Structure 1
């Protein structure tokens, strides 16, 4: 299966590229071929799904933006942007224009991936192998679910139960664009509540359809891990706890003894889902990628994201191995500056979600609910913080603040910063958690092309 993934990873294939461009929701066909007629058998559908994984690995997706932009936007007390890219500087400064390139390409790629998933779901009858049909269906629901989730977190306000039914979210897209006629459909934005309902429905279906193990592709527990994130973002702590517990109790994932192993080795037992990269195929080859922007090493990296000099000392105990292995001081022209050591190689895989997050989520939820489902908060915290892994000791009776501090220490620079600040209703610098500047603008070309049916966000 690994060879199959690498065979198709270089392109989304004609099956997907035939249905992606720049009209409404950025899914107008580039060619006149009807996409539905191009999908004929199991191999075609497998190629389409592999194309979907390729989209997830783009620099506009998990290859860079979904992992880096949340840290830039919430970076006031953790990092500074030192690079020359105006689009990233605007994100860091919370001063994006409606033509911001990161806002545009993230929107475009996400709906491209959603369309790929919708094409697969619309053509399941072409698959002859029953088990493979269930897998493809599950993978398509998984991709569609996580991409709607990322979109609503960037382009809409934080989920608040009291206002989610009226807050404007993003466009829910559940039917494929097969041809020119489909491409001219104009759909308005749905509410935040409607989007979250769709996300949960898709990821729940994925969890029920996917196998427990699926090589380097999404599995049942990948879907549960993302469900845990979704529920936590909503503040539904019981469901976040239970989804995290399902992943933990599967027994398939364990924290590595070394905190650096998950970033320096591929597909370790700690990683629940990661973007597959090679020397030949990685986001860095297109002047994108996590190592490109984070690393400050000979021949590797632009050092555009500089860690605040006092962060390692302020956030970590002196003996904490995460401090010594995840942060380093630059040399040469960058001597004295601090950088994040999680992203050091263009060809490294990019962990998107790791088992320590599940332990931290279950610990937080149990503490908030005063329950001990699966384990006590102390037991879960000790799986992340212990003498072997971090060279530190977890509190014997951790408070909620203890757990949240460990979550920050463990997950910094992995794409959760601004999302955690929003759900916890904490500011970043002078910006409150619900400030309009912490929401991406809808790409102006999208507003113009739909004559305002897709409305712009407040403040833009």
Structure 2
């Protein structure tokens, strides 16, 4: 069975969890929170509700993908939509009032507060296996959210000696009443934040079962650890984590490049948001299909807003026969014959892959190359495995880092990794260097107003 993320109604979240002052805590909610997690069923429901927040438009349903792609848009994509908040991200002209920076911060800390409540209430769970799994899921969710937040709201890993630049507030206890909600937590350093991320994900991997149905399991946590370590340039640890996922026996590459985007819960998917036509991140003002697609319908309308167009130079960087070009890029319903769109998101109710096996192969290849090793396979073999699936000729001779990076760009395009790769590889996007303050989101103004212990990022 594959390991997927279930998108669930936020009503569960609101009924079972407390809100911090970031989410406008009300006295009634604090009373509910004090009594809600009183048995194992309630704790289980709170975890399901936390997955629901992850699948919303502020997090993995839209923004954790789209914001990364727009921040690194130069020579890659262009924003043609009417939403000023996304245009500001693409142009790097956002202020501390940017709506996307604000809602992503608030939603992430809402989910973190939920899982902190779960961790605080584990004593009510008497079944040892259930308790272990619930703790693992809570730590997994908290770990990945701290990771996403520190990548967006802090200068990148390596920007200072010792990574002493400000990271994010590490909120590790729940706010279940007004007094707790008024606790002012300052920003930890980036080094401290990554330490907490790795601690949470490592513990999650040790606590979770190998297979947890539609929810996070051991290999989901290990796959995210591979991402974390790669972001740090810790190639030995990234290699070990990615190789564990690849050799687990739970996953295989799909035969075609389109399968994971056209089908649910395929053998390649490690972590996936499950949606359907009635329950998804959005069909008009949110959702990846909403912003990425431009597909005419029989009735004269179209699927998607045609907001994110693919720059032709990037389209032409693919080989003419590459299936990732011929099957996953298309000329859209708007913009003329030269306007391309990604075919990875074409159905409002389709699942959203968050992390998949192809990425693990590319992490293993890059880490092996950097270390001069061949754990699991040679770097060349891993890269050629991905290329063979795309129908392009294998590389020969001495493989270079530049070739692996280019393969990542082609294979993982429009999947939310763009700006993070630019930062970790110390590249630039347009005139912006990898460590430019304008590639860091502002802490929302309302957060600064209610928590004077938080220092704002440079330039805001």
- Normalising by structure 1, report the TM-score: 0.95
1:99-114 matches, cutoff 5 A: 99-114=97-112
Equivalent residue for 1:195, pick from 164, 183, 193: 193
**Residues 334 and 300 (structure 1 numbering): CA distance in 2 closer, same or farther, change over 3 Å?**
farther
| Residue pair 2:13, 2:50 contacting (<8 A) in 1 also | no
| Residue pair 1:60, 1:106 contacting (<8 A) in 2 also | yes
| Residue pair 1:221, 1:247 contacting (<8 A) in 2 also | yes
Structure 1 residue 269: Cα displacement: 0.7
In structure 1, runs of 5+ residues without a counterpart are: none
* Greater mean deviation of Cα atoms: 161-170 or 195-204: 161-170
Given the alignment of the two structures, is residue 337 of structure 1 paired with residue 336 of structure 2, yes or no? no
Structure 1 residue 205: Cα displacement: 0.3
Structure 1 residue 164: Cα displacement: 4.0
Counterpart secondary structure, 2:303: coil
CA deviation digits over 1:386-430, x for unaligned, max 9?
A: 1x4434324354221111110111011000000000000000001
Given the alignment of the two structures, is residue 70 of structure 1 paired with residue 68 of structure 2, yes or no? yes
| Residue pair 1:15, 1:39 contacting (<8 A) in 2 also | no
Aligned to 2:169: 171
Given the alignment of the two structures, is residue 457 of structure 1 paired with residue 457 of structure 2, yes or no? yes
Given the alignment of the two structures, is residue 28 of structure 1 paired with residue 25 of structure 2, yes or no? yes
CA distance in 2, matches of 1:229, 1:136: 23
| Residue pair 1:256, 1:389 contacting (<8 A) in 2 also | no
Structure 1 residue 334: Cα displacement: 4.7
In structure 2, runs of 5+ residues without a counterpart are: 297-301
1:59-98 matches, cutoff 5 A: 59-98=57-96
Counterpart secondary structure, 2:119: helix
| Residue pair 2:17, 2:36 contacting (<8 A) in 1 also | no
CA distance in 1, matches of 2:400, 2:165: 33
| Residue pair 2:310, 2:341 contacting (<8 A) in 1 also | yes
Structure 1 residue 453: Cα displacement: 1.3
CA distance in 2, matches of 1:245, 1:425: 25
CA distance in 2, matches of 1:131, 1:91: 44
Aligned to 1:19: 18
Aligned to 1:306: 309
Counterpart secondary structure, 1:190: strand
CA distance in 2, matches of 1:292, 1:84: 13
* Greater mean deviation of Cα atoms: 190-199 or 211-220: 211-220
Counterpart secondary structure, 1:58: coil
Given the alignment of the two structures, is residue 348 of structure 1 paired with residue 347 of structure 2, yes or no? no
Given the alignment of the two structures, is residue 442 of structure 1 paired with residue 443 of structure 2, yes or no? yes
Structure 1 residue 214: Cα displacement: 1.1
CA deviation digits over 1:90-142, x for unaligned, max 9?
A: 00001111010000000000001111110110111111222111111100000
Aligned to 1:135: 133
Aligned to 1:392: 393
Counterpart secondary structure, 2:316: helix
Aligned to 1:248: 246
| Residue pair 2:116, 2:172 contacting (<8 A) in 1 also | yes
CA distance in 1, matches of 2:34, 2:125: 13
1:111-122 matches, cutoff 5 A: 111-122=109-120
Structure 1 residue 374: Cα displacement: 1.6
**Residues 395 and 219 (structure 1 numbering): CA distance in 2 closer, same or farther, change over 3 Å?**
farther
CA distance in 2, matches of 1:395, 1:103: 44
1:268-279 matches, cutoff 5 A: 268-279=266-277
Given the alignment of the two structures, is residue 360 of structure 1 paired with residue 362 of structure 2, yes or no? yes
Given the alignment of the two structures, is residue 218 of structure 1 paired with residue 220 of structure 2, yes or no? no
Structure 1 residue 11: Cα displacement: 2.1
Given the alignment of the two structures, is residue 10 of structure 1 paired with residue 9 of structure 2, yes or no? yes
CA distance in 2, matches of 1:79, 1:333: 14
Query: Number of aligned pairs?
Result: 453
CA distance in 2, matches of 1:344, 1:180: 44
Given the alignment of the two structures, is residue 369 of structure 1 paired with residue 386 of structure 2, yes or no? no
**Residues 296 and 376 (structure 1 numbering): CA distance in 2 closer, same or farther, change over 3 Å?**
same
| Residue pair 1:36, 1:119 contacting (<8 A) in 2 also | no
**Residues 16 and 403 (structure 1 numbering): CA distance in 2 closer, same or farther, change over 3 Å?**
farther
